[in-house]
Amino acid sequence: MVLKKRTAIFISGNGSNMKNLVKFSKKKNAPIKVDFVISSNKKSKSIQFLKKNKIYYKIFDFKRKNKDEKKIFEILKKRETQLICLAGFMKILSESFIKRFKGKILNIHPSLLPKYKGLNTHERAIFNKEKFSGCTVHFVNSKLDSGKIIIQKRVKINKKDDPKSLSKKILKQEHLLYPKALKKILSRT
């Protein structure tokens, strides 16, 4: 039997990666159990999904980051969270928060890191006439999109691609890559 890690997912927007991870976590051999979701956006389209799937969730807008992080930390402690997956989470966590969960926070980023850290990755990749972009799952450290890379997937950029079409293609790969990354790091623990 697989011992599933109690996992929290942090989101900000659509939450398609979160939904995909929830779906994945329900598989018998998945190494995670999604126990808790934090959204920094109360308008996230995912709230309905969370309600329907009876997943415990909280909204923190991070306007008072220190205060919110303290509250989040308390919840994570209480729920004995073992892993945090950032999935389209657009806030930057403080160094002290990251240190407390050292090696236990993962992020997915829509580029082939170390290229195109930060925002507007697809626009920049197309502008620079890159032949490939892709996505990366990595550990989170205190520098933006700079932690140890776990796994990457390359995606071809066609001449006709615009940021929207490229983002769609990459997102599809993200949904395959995040579960793969989790299996890669958790299958031996």
122 noted as active-site residue: no
Please identify which residue in 4, 9, 10, 13 interacts with ligand GRF, judged by CB under 6 A. 13
Helix (H) or strand (E) segment spanning residue 134: strand 132-139
Burial of 132 (0-12, 13-18, 19+ CB in 10 A): exposed
Helix (H) or strand (E) segment spanning residue 85: strand 83-86
The count of residues interacting with ligand GRF (CB under 6 A) is 13
For 65-76, b/e burial (b = at least 16 CB within 10 A) is eeebbeebeeeb
CA distances from residue 42 to 37, 59, 162 in whole angstroms, order as listed? 12, 6, 29
Q: Which stretch binds ligand GRF (CB under 6 A): 10-18, 34-42, 62-70, 142-150?
A: 10-18
Q: Which stretch binds ligand GRF (CB under 6 A): 57-65, 94-102, 105-113, 123-131?
A: 105-113
Catalytic residue among 109, 122, 138, 175: 109
Q: DSSP states of 1-16 as a string? A: ----EEEEEEESS--H
Q: Is 7 in the site for ligand GRF (CB under 6 A)?
A: no
Spatial distance between the Cα atoms of 61 and 71, rounded to a whole number of angstroms: 12
Q: Is 147 in the site for ligand GRF (CB under 6 A)?
A: no
- Which 30-89 positions form the footprint of ligand GRF (CB under 6 A)? 87-88
Q: Which is nearer to ligand GRF, 64 or 85 (CB)?
A: 85
Please identify which residue in 140, 150, 155, 171 interacts with ligand GRF, judged by CB under 6 A. 171
Site residues (CB under 6 A) for ligand GRF? 11, 13-17, 87-88, 108-110, 171, 174
